[in-house]
Amino acid sequence: MSKFKITGGIPLHGEVTISGAKNATLPILAATLLADSPSTLHNVPNISDVHSFLALLEQLGAKTNFQTSENGIGGTVTVDPSELKNTPLSGEKVCHMRASILFLGPLLARFGEAKIDFPGGCVLGKRSVHAHVHALTSLGSQLTESTTQIHLTATSNADSPGHLTPAKIIMAEASVTATENAIMAAALTPGTTEIRWAAMEPHVQDLCNFISAMGVKIEGIGTHTLIVHGQPTGENHSSPLTGTTHTVTPDYLEAGTFALAAVLTNGEITINNCPTEQLDSFWQKLEEVGAKFTLHDNRAQIHKHSPEGESSDEKSHGLHAIEQLKTAVFPGFATDLQAPFTVLLTQCQGESRVHETLFEGRLNYLEELKKMGAASYLQNPQQATITGPSPLQGTTVKSCDIRAGAAVVLAALVAEGESTITDIVYTDRGYEKFEEKLRGLGAKIEREA
């Protein structure tokens, strides 16, 4: 497997442009199946998860094309679902990719049946499918029990035979992907469906905007209650929706990661294509630790927070601990920025508490940070205490998941000496040209086979 070699202690300087959001791209790609005609997506990140997802679309009979942009960052994807077929999804890409569960909603709505192998992905606790099944059975589908597959079938609908039934869905939890499946299924369910306690993350909003452009009226976008006015499929499962052109929202998680990289190295960078308003809780915590930055509509400038020449093993560069970093559903602090932000807390003066409320196993990366010299105490699988500042030392550490992979890269940027990051397949799944963008800011990072 490939690995990163990183020499730390170099302040970052320059400009970086944020790619399209992976977490918006994948559900929108799934939603292209709701129409019979092609859709075109711009600002699509050129990452392994996107290409794996395109391969799954091809398994279902859709024709796909990825055209890389002239500057090499991102590209344009065209999906033609005119020859879509309801083939059970199985194989390695399904089992290793949690996002494959996003095919449940559109396939069930188009064909009245969906069958996929249990999806995999990052090792972040058990990742139950209960919220998905609850939402889709609320629309009038039935689950066939299986230990290896998720198999849902639309039950008989007297008003619209072969279709799901509109309903008031109270989500079992504010799950992002379960909400997205409910929205996609409701889009082709004739009548009005109300989705309460819906997730309202920026990528959910982007999916709603895309489906709206295809011809479905959705009320309440950006709130916890969505009203979807669905339309019925026609003969031979034809769709009344029309493919459209859409530009994927920028990745606020990538933007936050680069902001943290600049603060950690006491650098000065400008983050372009930055969705600043999607990061309110992040900016609040960054301000709380003493970081300096200026926000614009689609750009963020990170400034030095202390004079040059202060030794990181003696001072925290003026950064101080916070009472608590607690993850929450949007607009609370994003769970996907918790690990990178905790690296910053290792460099802050005092004791900070971290509380991960959404995923089991998300604090496993703390063992990797300890190898580098971080001082942390794990109270239980979801709560930890971080004491800083801790002078980090370069060593060999691994990526535990997509966001933890970014976290150990950030730790290596501030560590003394050389670090080796293994298992970077996770990083490649979530960050486009991560090392190239960091090198453009002056970081000493190389990829080795």
Helix (H) or strand (E) holding 299: strand 299-303
Give the residue from 157, 28, 9, 13 showing the smallest Cα distance to 102. 28
- The residue annotated as part of the active site, out of 122, 274, 348, 400, is 122
Spatial CB neighbours of 261, under 8 Å, sequence gap ≥ 6: 12, 267, 269, 410, 413, 438, 441, 443
- Closest Cα to residue 103, out of 162, 62, 144, 48? 62
Cα distances (Å, whole numbers) of residue 375 to 349, 352, 366, 370, 371: 12, 11, 9, 6, 10
Q: Which residue has the tokens 């993350």?
A: 201
d(CA 210, CA 443): 37
What is the rounded distance in angstroms from the CA atom of residue 115 to the CA atom of residue 128? Answer: 17
Is there a cis peptide before residue 106, judged by omega within 30 degrees of 0?
A: no
Angle (nearest 5°) at CA 180 between 174 and 182: 85
Q: Cα(303)–Cα(294) distance, rounded to whole angstroms?
A: 8
Looking at residue 327, its amino acid is T
CA separation (Å) from 113 to 9, 35, 97, 143? Answer: 55, 17, 21, 10
122 assigned to active site: yes
Token output for 289: 């630790």
**CA quadruple 282, 284, 289, 292: dihedral positive or negative?**
positive
Nearby residues of 70 by Cβ (< 8 Å), 6 or more positions away:
none
**DSSP helix/strand/coil, 293:** strand
Which of these, 356, 352, 339, lies nearest to 386 by C-alpha position? 352
Q: What letter represents residue 178's amino acid?
A: A
Distance CA 56, CA 30 (A): 10
Distance of alpha carbon 125 from alpha carbon 120, whole angstroms:
11
Q: What residues act catalytically?
A: 122
